[in-house]
Chains A and B, each alone.
Chain A
Amino acid sequence: DADVTQTPRNRITKTGKRIMLECSQTKGHDRMYWYRQDPGLGLRLIYYSFDVKDINKGEISDGYSVSRQAQAKFSLSLESAIPNQTALYFCATSDLGAGGGTQYFGPGTRLTVL
């Protein structure tokens, strides 16, 4: 089984709808992240969490919210989806062992907002 899973893998929704993207991990990492990927822009950080009680905004948090339900679960919500939120969304986890950390990515969720 994959260490970092994301559900759903694909979602088509309409403008104004509330959407939740879920991420689960079995790696035992405290740190979790949400990114969005747009063609030509690379990955941009939306939110990140260092533990269940610590949540931080990334560079593009407007229009998004998150919930860290447990060490293993980190959800991203779009309260009222808009077309420019159409993108590929990735969840990642991170260890912080000796020598710095490595981020491990889920397979992504492709979201289309009509």
Chain B
Amino acid sequence: AQSVTQPDIHITVSEGASLELRCNYSYGATPYLFWYVQSPGQGLQLLLKYFSGDTLVQGIKGFEAEFKRSQSSFNLRKPSVHWSDAAEYFCAVGAWGFGNEKLTFGTGTRLTIIP
């Protein structure tokens, strides 16, 4: 069975500073990896996803993530955060095929932006 670990429950970053949110996964085959963002009172919005190919994936809102198979990681990055990036971020691993088409989510990282 697949699993996801987001080791940071809460991160505080100054506006304009760079950001990296960590995600480690466990899965026996090539994973499908996702980052979702949840703004207060909202549903989840897909930021980016990795299925295959280039290990550096670009997403919406200036986010990117890098798949590192050797480290079982899929960390999310942004070079300069904006106050509007304050939200909760979820990493997820998906298993497709053989009827196992569902996502397993991490516990989330809450991002606070300070002026």
Question: A residues touching B (Cβ–Cβ < 8 Å)?
Answer: 4, 31, 33, 35, 40-45, 48, 50, 56, 58, 90, 92, 94, 96, 99-108
Contact = CB atoms under 8 A, between A and B. Distances in A.
Q: DSSP majority for the B interface?
A: strand
A41 B107 contact: yes
Interface of B: 9, 32, 34, 36, 42-46, 49, 51-52, 90, 94, 96, 99, 101-108
Nearest to B90: A42
A40 B106 contact: no
Contacts of B51: 99-100
A31 B108 CA distance: 24
Nearest to B104: A45
How would you classify the secondary structure of chain A's contact residues: helix, strand, loop or mixed? strand
A96 B101 contact: yes
B101 A42 contact: no
Contact of A105 (B9, B43, B96, B99): B43
Given A40-B9, A100-B32, A100-B51, A90 B44 contact: yes
Contacts of A33: 102
A103 B42 CA distance: 15
